[in-house]
Amino acid sequence: MSQERRYSFEFFPTKTDAGHEKLIATARQLASYNPDFFSCTYGAGGSTRDRTMNTVLQLESEVKVPAAPHLSCVGDSKDDLRGLLTRYKAAGIKRIVALRGDLPSGMGMASGELRHANDLVEFIREETGDHFHIEVAAYPEMHPQARNFEDDLLNFVRKANAGANSAITQYFFNADSYFYFVERIRKMGVDIPVVPGIMPITNYSKLARFSDACGAEIPRWIRKQLEAYGDDTSSIQSFGEEVITQMCERLLQGGAPGLHFYTLNQAEASLAVWNNLKLPR
CA 209 from chain center: how many Å? 18
Catalytic one of 10, 60, 135, 141: 10
Residues 274 and 280: their CA atoms lie apart, in Å, by 9
Residues 123 and 212: their CA atoms lie apart, in Å, by 32
List C-alpha distances in Å: 2 to 101, 133, 179, 192.
Answer: 28, 12, 21, 12
Instruction: List, in order, residues 6 or more apart from 115 with CB less than 8 Å away.
Output: 73, 100
Residues 281 and 35: their CA atoms lie apart, in Å, by 8
CA 134 from chain center: how many Å? 12
Contact 112, 77 (CB under 8 A): yes
| 138 three-state secondary structure | strand
The DSSP code for 3 is S
Tell me, yes or no, if 150 is annotated catalytic: no
Contact 140, 177 (CB under 8 A): yes
Catalytic residues: 10
